Amino acid sequence: MTKQVQQLDRVIIRFAGDSGDGMQLTGDRFTAETAEFGNDLSTLPNFPAEIRAPAGTLPGVSSFQLHFADHDILTPGDAPNVLVAMNPAALKANLGDLPKGADIIVNTDEFTKRNLAKVGYAASPLDDDSLAEWRVHAVPLTSLTVGALDGFDMSKKDAERAKNMFALGLLSWLYHRPTEATIQFLETKFAKKPVIAKANIAAFQAGWNYGETTESFSVSYEVKPAKLEPGVYRNISGNQALAYGLVAGSVQSGLPLFLGSYPITPASDILHELSRHKNFGVRTFQAEDEIAGVGAALGAAFGGALGVTTTSGPGVVLKGETVGLAVTTELPLILVDVQRAGPSTGMPTKTEQADLLMAMFGRNGESPVPIVAAATPSDCFHAAIEATRIAVTYRTPVILLSDGYLANGSEPWRIPEVSALPVITPGFAAAPNGDDGETFHPFKRDPQTLARPWAVPGTAGLEHRIGGIEKADVTGNISYDPGNHDTMVRLRQSKIDGIDVPDLEVDDPDGDARVLVLGWGSTYGPIAAAARRVRRAGGKVAQAHLRHLNPLPKNTGEVLKSYDKVLLPEINLGQLALLLRGRFLVDVISYNRVRGLPFKAEELAGVIQDVIDSE
Amino acid sequence: MSETTLNGRGLALVPRTDAKQTMKDYKSDQEVRWCPGCGDYAILAAVQSFVPELGLRRENMVFVSGIGCSSRFPYYMNTYGFHSIHGRAPAIATGLAASRPDLSVWVITGDGDALSIGGNHLIHALRRNINLNILLFNNRIYGLTKGQYSPTSEVGKITKSTPMGSLDKPFNPISLAVGAEASFVARTIDSDRKHLQSVLREAATHRGTSLVEIYQNCNIYNDNAFEQLKDPELRDDITLRLEHGQPIVSASKAVRRTPGGGLEVVDRASVPESEILVHDAHHPDPSVAFALSRLDEPAFEHVPIGVFRSVERPSYDQLMSEQLEQAQAGGRGDLHKLLHGGDTWRIG
């Protein structure tokens, strides 16, 4: 039987199942195959905070969405074209996101009376016409997998566990994905359990062959490789890119990296990743709590290391006092905040942008801290290097904002040449800087940057004491002098305000847009995709994205004031809008949704169009 | 570097100098601002006159403190110093000592700083055994905030915040440290410079975290808290001197094992020498050290002074350095290779 092959320019697939069904692994492998094939792609893992919620229930559903295309894309996609539902809960939890006409591949074996009842289905939706508006492919995934593994020396239960690889095989056939790397991956992953390795590979191949032979699938699809900029590519998640960026910051500055960290979702993977790179001289310290994590990082910075601490919002709260100490002692420090939905514990695995004002103001006293925000998963690499540059050059703590969406999402990344990365000069103090040639003044500043000298223990002649008490200008001795405090408060502020950051760039293809859509952080992808849609439909919109939130680029006010309307979508209740209104007296139009999910491009396109239409 | 070569050598990796040093070299140009009569003056003088004998390069010595009266200490030492925030000095010193094994790092803290707001960092520093010397100035009161009871104040303490008497049972810092399996635990007193310096000497050369509790008099808010230990009439009877290999006795009392396995203090004349407990500071089992730490109950009838426990186990910084060396055995990391790791593909 020769099957029809249909060409598509892009596809959005969502794998959904129980948290124990291995959906994240299945998604990761499909992503790797897709990256190898050469499509552009973007992913969105979405999983519960519970490691294993009760099986078969709605709270236990874990999903992985992948968008891939023959052209460059910016988001993991709004609505899936294909849903793989491993059980009734996965179907019920995801059906609402599915446009009519989309394909649904269901594992019929799991549609038992008991499982249906768990999620409130009175009758199986496969047996009535409630799914008539979708194209349903009923596949007994579990029993087909068990059948394929007949003869393997394993229990039925173990055989059933390979059903996600059967599904992966079927989808790999359906979209013409290369399979060799997945087979190699399974061999390596289960190297110590050869029977399990063979069983998973057999299930994977059985899934492929099933697609080839069954009549349930009459068409397979081809999505041609994307024409991306020439270069060497890899797929990378935000957390991995951020960890690599920190290693690069260490290499490019010559400073040994010291990470003090306490495990917290969704930041822990940065700790995991960095702990694997001790060959770069990286010291990772899993501290007793968030406060000790940042404290140890600051202590290491006092000793001349690149001190880093990684956390999420609840950890930032606890670290605030130590960040203030870094502000006043003027030591380099990087605090990575992988934001998640709050307040309090909130929704640990869901994304949000609501820590901006805490990053700006969440400390006692006048305590300015530079803020850098990454825009995409791969941009986390460059943002980490930029945070390093600012911290080291200006002797200041820097807050680097990522979020759950960037942290776990992934995209192809054109790997930069190491020679093209910036070189960062620590410029340690080596000799006394007093007029007498003998005295060392730890707070005598560089007139250009206002940075103070960084004199590390072990340097003879520069012994000095620093601390949290206000210091006298120049000498750094304890001072309660009113005028001196005013001077020091202003000096610390001027230093941060004067940080050299690149101008805000505006993307306006025709140059005559009257509406600007502005964003920061992880909203870059959805905003850019929305702007494209609006332009394709004939609308005119300019787009700009802020990487530096503090200080803002020098031309920010000028850019904002040169448009009739400025639209600012944020996954918070208008935090950057508040800052921009206060600073520039610009009547920014906010668009806010705080659902723990990224914006959808279609949604934002509508909002942009509405603003244009209201002109 | 292996564990056997460093054990007992807390300063083995710190560069030394042949230049002759005196107490004056270690005095900073800052005016000392404790209350007149404060016990901190005696401790500062004892430290400043002791450190020259270590023969270390002054620039490789760092004093880190938290918040409280005692935490002003680093400002007065002509070394590198970091006056940090309340309770966090052990955490800050941990990062410094873990990344710089060439430094001699000292933490100066008090009973409120170390045992109340910073209790968590203290116990974890002790269990990790990073190469630090923690000097805990215990005056059993909050001084800098003007006289509230502290976590070492006796039950029923009348203070500004407890006008009807404090309700909570105090920590015994030695029991806490032994319970956290600290590798070096000692107690000394501000007024006995010779003893204080002998304990500092042992602490400095111990590889790992050394905890030294120093009884320190606050003459403003808790004067004479340790008066029994200073009174010439009483002190020799009350003080049980702990010296490794020596029987544990005061002038009139002796320590012996009870049939139930505990310890008791008895009239020295009533027991034969052979029944008196001989101090073994190096015993790997901390239970006798713990039992010794309980002998000052009820309050101060007899108080052990000296090194309770000094055992050898690898320090965290040393193990961390060994992992780094192991990871770099095949050469230092290459950034280009790191970025190109995993599955890559070429376009164009």
Q: Average pLDDT for residues B72-89, to the nearest whole number?
A: 98
3-state secondary structure A133-155: CCEEEEECHHHHHHHHCCCCCCC
Phi, psi of B42 (to 5 degrees): -65, -40
pLDDT at position B8 = 55
**Is there a contact between B139 and B222 (Cβ–Cβ < 8 Å)?**
yes
What is the domain-level CATH number for residue B173?
A: 3.40.50.970
On the question of pLDDT at B58 being above 50, the answer is yes
- Per-residue confidence at B1, pLDDT binned at 50, 70, 90? very low
Given an 8 Å threshold on Cβ–Cβ distance, is B59 in contact with A231?
no
> Is-cis flag, bond preceding A343, omega within 30?
yes
pLDDT at position A437 = 94
Half-sphere exposure of B152 (CA within 13 A, CB side): 27
Both structure tokens of B155: 């039950």
- Per-residue confidence at B3, pLDDT binned at 50, 70, 90? very low
Percent of chain A at pLDDT > 90 equals 95
Positive or negative torsion for Cα A52, A56, A59, A62? positive
On the question of pLDDT at B302 being above 80, the answer is yes
Asked whether residue B343 is assigned to any structural domain, the reply reads no
How far is A390 from B132, CA to CA, in rounded Å?
31
Task: Please report, to the nearest 10 degrees, the dihedral formed by the alpha carbons of residues B291, B292, B294, B298 taken in order.
Answer: 130
pLDDT at position B7 = 52
How far is B125 from B121, CA to CA, in rounded Å?
6
Tell me the domain boundaries of chain A: 4-223, 238-419, 506-613
* Domain of B112, in residue numbers: 3-237
Given an 8 Å threshold on Cβ–Cβ distance, is B121 in contact with A256?
no
Nearest chain B residue (CA) to A258:
B99
Closest CA–CA distance from residue B142 to any residue of chain A (Å): 19
Closest CA–CA distance from residue A26 to any residue of chain B (Å): 17
Look-up of token digits 């490794």: B244
Given an 8 Å threshold on Cβ–Cβ distance, is B333 in contact with A279?
yes
Q: Does any CB of chain A come closer than 8 Å to the CB of residue B13?
A: no
Q: Does any CB of chain A come closer than 8 Å to the CB of residue B120?
A: yes
Asked whether residue B277 is assigned to any structural domain, the reply reads no
pLDDT tens, position by position, A526-552 = 999 999 999 999 999 999 999 999 999
Half-sphere exposure of A332 (CA within 13 A, CB side): 35
Do A4-223 and A506-613 have matching folds? no
Cα separations in angstroms, B38 against A135, B32, B110, B191, B256: 84, 11, 14, 11, 36
pLDDT tens, position by position, A76-108 = 999 999 999 999 999 999 999 999 999 999 999
Q: Does any CB of chain A come closer than 8 Å to the CB of residue B338?
A: yes
Indicate the CATH number for domain A506-613: 3.40.50.920
Q: Which amino acid is at B316?
A: Y
Positive or negative torsion for Cα A8, A379, A270, A244? positive
Given an 8 Å threshold on Cβ–Cβ distance, is A287 in contact with B93?
no
Both structure tokens of B343: 């599955």
pLDDT tens, position by position, A152-207 = 999 999 999 999 999 999 999 999 999 999 999 999 999 999 999 999 999 999 99
Q: Average pLDDT for residues B51-66, to the nearest whole number?
A: 97
> Is-cis flag, bond preceding A266, omega within 30?
yes
Closest CA–CA distance from residue A289 to any residue of chain B (Å): 8
Name the CA radius of gyration of chain B, rounded: 22
If you classify domain A4-223 with CATH, what class do you get?
A: alpha beta
pLDDT tens, position by position, A507-532 = 999 999 999 999 999 999 999 999 99
pLDDT tens, position by position, A208-261 = 999 999 988 989 999 999 988 999 999 999 999 999 999 999 999 999 999 999
What is the 8-class DSSP label of residue A97?
Answer: G
Given an 8 Å threshold on Cβ–Cβ distance, is B78 in contact with A463?
yes
On the question of pLDDT at B288 being above 60, the answer is yes
Domain total of chain B: 1
On the question of pLDDT at B178 being above 70, the answer is yes
- Per-residue confidence at A1, pLDDT binned at 50, 70, 90? low
**Is there a contact between B48 and B27 (Cβ–Cβ < 8 Å)?**
yes
- Identify the H or E element spanning A545: strand A542-546
**Is there a contact between A255 and A276 (Cβ–Cβ < 8 Å)?**
no
Closest CA–CA distance from residue B11 to any residue of chain A (Å): 14
Look up the CATH superfamily of A238-419.
Thiamin diphosphate (ThDP)-binding fold, Pyr/PP domains (3.40.50.970)
Percent of chain B at pLDDT > 90 equals 93
Closest CA–CA distance from residue B84 to any residue of chain A (Å): 5
Bridge-based pairing state of the strands A61-69 and A40-46: antiparallel
Q: Which residues from chain A sit within 8 angstroms of residue B65, using beta carbons? A: 467
Report how many Cβ contacts below 8 Å link chain A to chain B. Answer: 208
Task: Please report, to the nearest 10 degrees, the dihedral formed by the alpha carbons of residues B196, B199, B205, B208 taken in order.
Answer: -110
- Identify the H or E element spanning A114: helix A113-118
Portion 16-35 of B in contact with A at CB < 8 A: 28, 30
Q: Which residues from chain A sit within 8 angstroms of residue B339, using beta carbons? A: 234, 244, 248, 415-416, 418
pLDDT tens, position by position, B229-242 = 999 999 999 999 99
How far is A1 from A612, CA to CA, in rounded Å?
53
Among residues A60, A78, A72, the alpha carbon closest in space to that of A115 is found at: A60
- Per-residue confidence at B6, pLDDT binned at 50, 70, 90? low
Q: Average pLDDT for residues B311-328, to the nearest whole number?
A: 96
Q: Which amino acid is at A493?
A: Q
Task: Please report, to the nearest 10 degrees, the dihedral formed by the alpha carbons of residues A103, A108, A114, A115 taken in order.
Answer: -40
Asked whether residue B155 is assigned to any structural domain, the reply reads yes
How far is A394 from A499, CA to CA, in rounded Å?
8
pLDDT at position B2 = 40
The strand pairing partners of A341, in sequence order, are A347
Given an 8 Å threshold on Cβ–Cβ distance, is B323 in contact with A465?
no
Given an 8 Å threshold on Cβ–Cβ distance, is B95 in contact with A307?
yes
pLDDT tens, position by position, A441-452 = 999 999 999 999
The strand pairing partners of B262, in sequence order, are none
Distance linking the first and last C-alpha atoms of chain B: 50
Cα separations in angstroms, B334 against A234, A252, A269: 17, 12, 21
Among residues A575, A597, A588, the alpha carbon closest in space to that of A544 is found at: A588
ipTM of the complex: 0.97
On the question of pLDDT at A19 being above 90, the answer is no
How far is A408 from A239, CA to CA, in rounded Å?
7
How far is A491 from A607, CA to CA, in rounded Å?
42
**Is there a contact between B343 and A234 (Cβ–Cβ < 8 Å)?**
yes
Both structure tokens of A309: 């601490």
Bridge-based pairing state of the strands B263-267 and B253-257: antiparallel
Mean pLDDT taken over chain A: 96
